[in-house]
């Protein structure tokens, strides 16, 4: 598609698809031409669906919780949780990477960061998965059922967070919700709605994506045992391995925008108000940008993949996701002398055009 129809209109989905690196990057770095204001199954506004100047203000407010320095302070805790999770599966001799390892890790970390009790983590996983789940099939009924479930999930989490926010207001703790309750920009605080929207966004944006990054990395390792051995024998290669996994198997395949005026891309005029889907997964394999794009290259450097987006909406949680993946994979590799797939189990993809990952990944 990148070669034959790099920009195309899809009548059925009523949107434009864009596949080339240069075009995708152009869209993401021009928020004035391509707005983020779009519905994502949840009516509450979040920074993900805001444009400047409101986006800039909100992002500045929450930025400091996610700087690499702030995130690095979580290293020890991420190590402890990783070791705890692996200890639990070691005795079994087999594990489902999603259920036993890559699923719980980000939920535990974000729940602790927000100040949510760990006992609720199963509940969080369930509801954050519901919020990002795709429809069972292409029918209208399946779409309606999905929207209904998402609505219910959002309502549940809203009530849940309302309670926590109420508690933190009267007795602040050393957590993100307390920090956000106290934060101000130009003398203004976040409204309750904004705070709620942000809490839910962190669960939705951070959990499944990081789970899929870790699981996609393990999947690649069991598919390519030469690379697995190379990384195991030199753990300083883990960060490169994580970046190449992000490029090769991006957890988020595409990013949506709305054209704010008539714009020309690749010889096509995209009319104001049209939906535009930027296919990050295709851009990451663009031969105009990457040498041998279909080869997984540990030594690839620089690696300017677009898997965390680009420009003003660049993933706020990227330092956290990278750290979690680095710690989780390093400890996994040192804990097991060889990781192998359980052959008779077919890999089943997650049912969503925008998410790349599998539902289960049994390994031993």
Footprint on this chain of ligand HEM (rule: CB under 6 A): 36, 47-48, 59, 110, 201-202, 205-206, 209-210, 213, 251-252, 255, 307-309, 313, 315-317, 320-321
The whole-angstrom distance between residue 136's C-alpha and the CA centroid of its chain comes to: 21
How many whole angstroms separate alpha carbon 313 and alpha carbon 333?
A: 33
Task: Judge residue 14's burial from the number of C-beta atoms within 10 Å of its C-beta, 0-12 exposed, 13-18 middle, 19 or more buried.
Answer: exposed
220 versus 342: smaller Cβ distance to ligand HEM = 220
For the bound state, the minimum distance from the C-beta of residue 149 to ligand HEM, rounded and expressed in Å, comes to 22
52 versus 141: smaller Cβ distance to ligand HEM = 52
Task: Judge residue 233's burial from the number of C-beta atoms within 10 Å of its C-beta, 0-12 exposed, 13-18 middle, 19 or more buried.
Answer: exposed
User: Of the candidates 351, 324, 296, 356, which has an alpha carbon nearest to the alpha carbon of residue 74?
Assistant: 324
For the bound state, the minimum distance from the C-beta of residue 307 to ligand HEM, rounded and expressed in Å, comes to 5
User: Cβ neighbours of residue 16 under 8 Å, at least 6 residues apart?
Assistant: 7, 8, 9, 10, 265, 268, 270, 274, 275, 276, 277
Number of helices (H), then strands (E), belonging to the chain: the values are 13, 11
The DSSP annotation for 116-137 comes to --GGGHHHHHHHHHHHH---SS
177 versus 205: smaller Cβ distance to ligand HEM = 205
25 versus 209: smaller Cβ distance to ligand HEM = 209
How many whole angstroms separate alpha carbon 12 and alpha carbon 275?
A: 13
For the bound state, the minimum distance from the C-beta of residue 45 to ligand HEM, rounded and expressed in Å, comes to 11
103 versus 206: smaller Cβ distance to ligand HEM = 206
178 versus 209: smaller Cβ distance to ligand HEM = 209
The two structure tokens encoding residue 125: 């996983």
- Nearest residue relative to ligand HEM (C-beta): 317
5 versus 353: smaller Cβ distance to ligand HEM = 353
For the bound state, the minimum distance from the C-beta of residue 346 to ligand HEM, rounded and expressed in Å, comes to 25
59 versus 162: smaller Cβ distance to ligand HEM = 59
User: Are the beta carbons of 280 and 307 closer than 8 angstroms?
Assistant: yes
How many whole angstroms separate alpha carbon 328 and alpha carbon 105?
A: 8
For the bound state, the minimum distance from the C-beta of residue 47 to ligand HEM, rounded and expressed in Å, comes to 4
For the bound state, the minimum distance from the C-beta of residue 28 to ligand HEM, rounded and expressed in Å, comes to 6
For the bound state, the minimum distance from the C-beta of residue 191 to ligand HEM, rounded and expressed in Å, comes to 17
How many whole angstroms separate alpha carbon 357 and alpha carbon 207?
A: 13
For the bound state, the minimum distance from the C-beta of residue 255 to ligand HEM, rounded and expressed in Å, comes to 5
């Amino acid at each position: 598609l990148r070669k034959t129809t790099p920009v195309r209109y899809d009548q059925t989905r009523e949107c434009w698809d864009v596949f080339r690196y240069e075009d995708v990057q152009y869209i993401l770095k021009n928020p004035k031409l391509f707005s983020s204001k779009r519905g994502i199954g949840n009516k509450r506004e979040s920074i993900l669906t805001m444009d400047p100047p409101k986006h800039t203000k909100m992002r500045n407010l929450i930025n400091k919780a996610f700087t690499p320095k702030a995130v690095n302070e979580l290293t020890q805790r991420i190590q402890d949780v990783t070791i705890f999770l692996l200890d639990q599966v070691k005795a079994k001799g087999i594990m489902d990477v999603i259920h036993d390892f890559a699923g719980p890790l980000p939920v535990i970390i974000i729940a602790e960061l927000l100040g949510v009790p760990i006992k609720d983590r199963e509940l969080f996983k369930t509801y954050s998965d519901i919020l990002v789940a795709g429809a069972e099939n292409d029918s209208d009924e399946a779409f309606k059922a999905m929207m209904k479930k998402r609505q219910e999930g959002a309502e549940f989490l809203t009530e849940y967070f309302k309670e926590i926010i109420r508690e933190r207001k009267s007795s602040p703790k050393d957590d993100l919700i307390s920090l956000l309750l106290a934060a101000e920009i130009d003398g203004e605080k976040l409204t309750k709605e904004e705070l709620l929207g942000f809490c839910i966004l962190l669960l939705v944006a951070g959990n499944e994506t990081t789970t899929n990054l870790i699981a996609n990395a393990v999947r690649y390792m069991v598919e390519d045992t030469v690379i697995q051995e190379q990384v195991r024998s030199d753990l300083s290669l883990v960060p490169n391995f994580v970046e190449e996994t992000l490029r090769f198997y991006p957890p988020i395949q595409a990013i949506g925008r709305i054209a704010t005026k008539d714009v020309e891309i690749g010889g096509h005029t995209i009319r104001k108000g049209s939906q535009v889907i930027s296919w990050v997964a295709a851009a990451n394999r663009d031969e105009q940008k990457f040498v041998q794009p279909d080869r997984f290259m540990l030594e690839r450097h620089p690696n300017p993949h677009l898997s965390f987006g680009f420009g003003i909406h660049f993933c706020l949680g990227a330092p956290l996701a990278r750290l979690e993946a680095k710690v989780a994979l390093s400890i996994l590799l040192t804990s097991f002398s060889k990781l192998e797939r359980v052959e008779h189990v077919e890999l089943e993809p997650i049912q969503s055009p925008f998410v790349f990952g599998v539902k289960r990944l049994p390994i031993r």
